[in-house]
Amino acid sequence: MTLMEYINREDRGYLLPFMGANGPIMVKTSMEEIYASPEKQLRLALKMNEICPSDFIYALDEGNIFCDALGIHLKKPEYDFSMVMDHPVKSMKDLERLEIPSPYSNKRMKTNLKSLKLISENIDKPLFVSLQGPFTLAVQLAGATGLLKATIKNPGFVKKLLEFTGEVVDRYARAIVGAGVKMVSMAEPSAVMIAPKFFPEMVVKNLDRIFRDLNCWKCVHICGDTSKIYPYILETSIDAFSFDQIMDMEKIINNFPENKVVIGNLDPVYLLGRGSVEEVKNATEELMEKMKQYDNFLLGFGCSCANTAPIKNLEAVSKWGRVNYKK
């Protein structure tokens, strides 16, 4: 079954919520505790599916799993994503010191594969995972300023760095699909900082190579105004593209291939994070009313929802985003 076929099985709205760090607060368990325990990962997924049911299982976000596996220094809050505290890859020598982690032997990755397998075997909905894309991982390793300078002063280093990060992401993506993941989204928020003319070589090339033989539904999410760069992504074998809340969904979908899914784009900050339940209900209904005529629309958020977003707001999206179109 294709993603398009899945979201058109019933005449209603379908929902893919980006609730990356909301689960730990629901189960009152820290991120690191959940990452370390497949049983706690399953408990979290079941709880999220109970409180905010959607059409996908979106458990605890992968966060900085690649940097963690590579031994990069991270700050790890209890109930939020980890943050990179250092960008140690400044030269070819620094890069050569790193080894591509094996998903089947690296402790962090190996545990997560067990978690994903457990979830996929116990919940009968497509399991969705968001991964950091190769370009954004390169920015985490080298730093944004360092990487941009190197594109001019040391392009050979940038080429090797992107080959390295592409291989890291590719190996893990294949492993999680083998563990039962049905949909993989590559998050490339750092991609908006490069000029569109560099986008095909520095971003699309790696994504295309990873997606080509990845046997699952494939998606890309990029924050910000992607009007000049998302057409390049459409040249890859993706099934969907996820848009930021600043984008006009009607304008986008009218210029989008009918065989690819448009995902978005409720505001995760001001609406879901700070709005009232009534405001969330009205915004969800308004977006669904505009988009229900399009078979290739899937309701989602403009980005990952803050962990402080009121649960009642997420419940409202779950309720009003999956209503039957005939009612």
How would DSSP label each residue in 170-224? Answer: HHHHHHHHHTT--EEEEE-GGGGGS-GGGHIIIIIHHHHHHHHT--SEEEEE--S
Q: Which of 298, 313, 316 is nearest to 4 (CA)?
A: 298
Q: What is the pLDDT of residue 107?
A: 95
Quote the CA–CA distance of 272 and 238 in Å, as a whole number: 28
Q: What is the pLDDT of residue 69?
A: 95
Judged against a pLDDT cut of 70, whether residue 327 lies above it is answered with no
Tell whether 326 is covered by a domain. no
Judged against a pLDDT cut of 70, whether residue 228 lies above it is answered with yes
Quote the CA–CA distance of 172 and 72 in Å, as a whole number: 17
157-167 average pLDDT score: 97
Judged against a pLDDT cut of 80, whether residue 60 lies above it is answered with no
Q: Which of 44, 25, 51, 61 is nearest to 316 (CA)?
A: 51
276-295 average pLDDT score: 96
Tell whether 294 is covered by a domain. yes
Strand partners, 132: 187
| Backbone torsion region of residue 211, taken as left when φ is above 0, otherwise alpha when ψ lies between -120 and 50, otherwise beta | alpha
Tell whether 325 is covered by a domain. no
Query: pLDDT > 90: what percent of the chain?
Result: 84
Task: CATH number of the domain at 229, please.
Answer: 3.20.20.210
Which residue do the tokens 């993506």 mark? Answer: 173
Distance, CA of 98 to chain centre: 25
Judged against a pLDDT cut of 90, whether residue 227 lies above it is answered with yes
273-293 average pLDDT score: 95
144-172 average pLDDT score: 94
Tell whether 327 is covered by a domain. no
pTM above 0.85, yes or no: yes
Tell whether 200 is covered by a domain. yes
Distance, CA of 92 to chain centre: 29
Q: Which of 169, 109, 94 is nearest to 137 (CA)?
A: 169
Q: What is the pLDDT of residue 21?
A: 82
The structural domain count of the chain equals: 1
Q: Exposed, middle or buried, 61 (CB in 10 Å: 0-12/13-18/19+)? A: buried
127-137 average pLDDT score: 96
Tell whether 81 is covered by a domain. yes
Quote the CA–CA distance of 207 and 188 in Å, as a whole number: 10
Q: What is the mean pLDDT of the chain?
A: 93
pLDDT tens digits for range 69-99: 999 999 988 888 888 989 999 999 999 999 9
Quote the CA–CA distance of 226 and 255 in Å, as a whole number: 13
Judged against a pLDDT cut of 70, whether residue 158 lies above it is answered with yes
Tell whether 240 is covered by a domain. yes
Count H helices and E strands in the chain, helices first.
Answer: 16, 10
Sorting pLDDT into bands at 50, 70 and 90, what band is 298? very high
Beta carbons within 8 Å of 222's beta carbon, 6+ residues apart: 187, 188, 189, 191, 192, 229, 230, 233, 242, 244
Judged against a pLDDT cut of 90, whether residue 177 lies above it is answered with yes
E strand or H helix that includes residue 288: helix 277-291
Tell whether 85 is covered by a domain. yes
Judged against a pLDDT cut of 70, whether residue 137 lies above it is answered with yes
Which residue do the tokens 């998302």 mark? Answer: 230
Lookup: tokens for 76: 């790890």
CA-CA-CA-CA torsion sign (25, 28, 32, 33) = negative
Strand partners, 264: 299
Judged against a pLDDT cut of 90, whether residue 62 lies above it is answered with no
Query: pLDDT > 70: what percent of the chain?
Result: 100
- Domain housing 229: 3-320
Q: What is the pLDDT of residue 326?
A: 73
In angstroms, what CA-CA distances link 294 with 112, 245, 288? 36, 18, 10
Q: What is the pLDDT of residue 22?
A: 85
Q: What is the pLDDT of residue 306?
A: 84
E strand or H helix that includes residue 152: helix 144-153
